[in-house]
Amino acid sequence: MKESISNSTLVVLLVIAIGVSVLGIWVSVSGQGPGFTGAATSNDSGTVELSVSGTVGLVVTDALINQTVTVDANSSSCYVMGNGTQGTGCILDQADGITFENTGNTLILNVTAYASKNADEIIVNATSASISYLAQASEVGACGSYASNPLSNQTVLIATNCNFGDTADESNVYLIYNFTSDAAATTETAQVTFIGTA
């Protein structure tokens, strides 16, 4: 014969089971002492050490400039900035510069450059020939140097204190040409390398 368990018996057994569970949790938790919730229980203090590293990133976005500079027929010499803003005795076919940007998260103290050729290897057979770099900020607050530095196969400083903010980190480097009219007609290619240091 089957025996049935009444609903009241089931309720009593359920209450006893829940009570034993709650009692077991309370005994376990109370044995761990104060502070198990993570709340501050005293005036103790801690020290956190945080290290943030700076990254220097110098990206050149205009890898190629292509300019033709010729001496005006009525002049004995040519002087022109590569951005086309100043010039005497020259014809510059287009204003073109090399754009560089600080994509890192720290100030670039110095931007230097060196070329694969000297000016007299690019402007050949001239009595006098020079090419210089001129860095100008293309965004407010970006770096630039309004003093020209000679293009050569030696490293020269072209800009200082280049910011890293998104709206103040882009500059242009133009070339300044200065040579006499006896320069030979030629087509030359040179590679310029830029280096940013923090």
The ranges assigned to domains in the chain are 58-183+191-197
> pTM of the entire structure?
0.66
pLDDT tens digits in sequence order for the chain, 198 residues long: 456 677 788 788 888 888 888 888 877 767 666 555 555 566 667 777 877 777 888 888 876 777 888 887 778 888 887 777 777 888 777 777 888 899 888 888 899 999 999 989 988 898 988 888 888 888 888 888 766 788 889 999 988 888 888 888 998 888 888 888 888 888 888 888 989 888
Q: Say if residues 131 and 151 touch (Cβ distance below 8 Å).
A: yes
3-state secondary structure the chain: CCCCCCHHHHHHHHHHHHHHHHHHHHHHHHCCCCCCCCCCCCCCCCCCCCCCCCCCCEEECCCCCCCCEEECCCCCEEEEECCCCCEECEEECCCCCEEEEECCCCCEEEEEEEECCCHHHHCCCCCCEEEEEEEEECCCCCCCEEEEEECCCCCEEEEEEECCCCCCCEEEEEEEEEEECCCCCCCCCCCEEEEEEC
Distance CA 170, CA 137 (A): 7
How many other CB atoms are found less than 10 A from the CB of residue 161? 14
In terms of Cα–Cα distance, which of 185, 184, 146, 176 is closest to 79?
Answer: 176
